[in-house]
Amino acid sequence: MPGSERSLRSDALRNRIRILVAAESVFAAKGLDASTDEVARLAGVGIGTLYRHFATKDALLDAVFAGRMQRLVDRADDLARESDAGRAFFDFFAGLLGESPRDRVFTDALARAGLDAEAAATRPDNPLHIAMAQLLERAQRSGQVRPDVSVPDLVSSMFGLVHAMRHAGTATRVRLRTLTIVVDGLRPPAGTQRRVKASVPVGRRRR
Partner DNA sequence: GATGAATGAGCATTCATTCAT
Partner DNA sequence: TATGAATGAATGCTCATTCAT
Binding site for DNA (CB under 7 A): 4, 7-9, 11-12, 14-15, 33-38, 45-49, 51-53, 55-58
Which of 1/121 has CB closer to a second copy? Answer: 121
Q: What is the crossing angle of helices 85-99 and 172-186, to 10°?
A: 150
Residues 144, 85 contacting (CB under 8 angstroms): yes
Min dist. Cβ of residue 2 to DNA (A): 11
Min dist. Cβ of residue 56 to DNA (A): 4
Quick note: the x/- pattern for a second copy over 117-156, rule CB under 8 A, is xx--x--------------------------xxx-xx-xx
> What SS3 string covers 100-114?
CCCCCHHHHHHHHCC
Which of 15/126 has CB closer to DNA? Answer: 15
DSSP state of 203: -
Burial class, 37, CB count within 10 angstroms (exposed 0-12 / middle 13-18 / buried 19+): exposed
Min dist. Cβ of residue 112 to DNA (A): 15
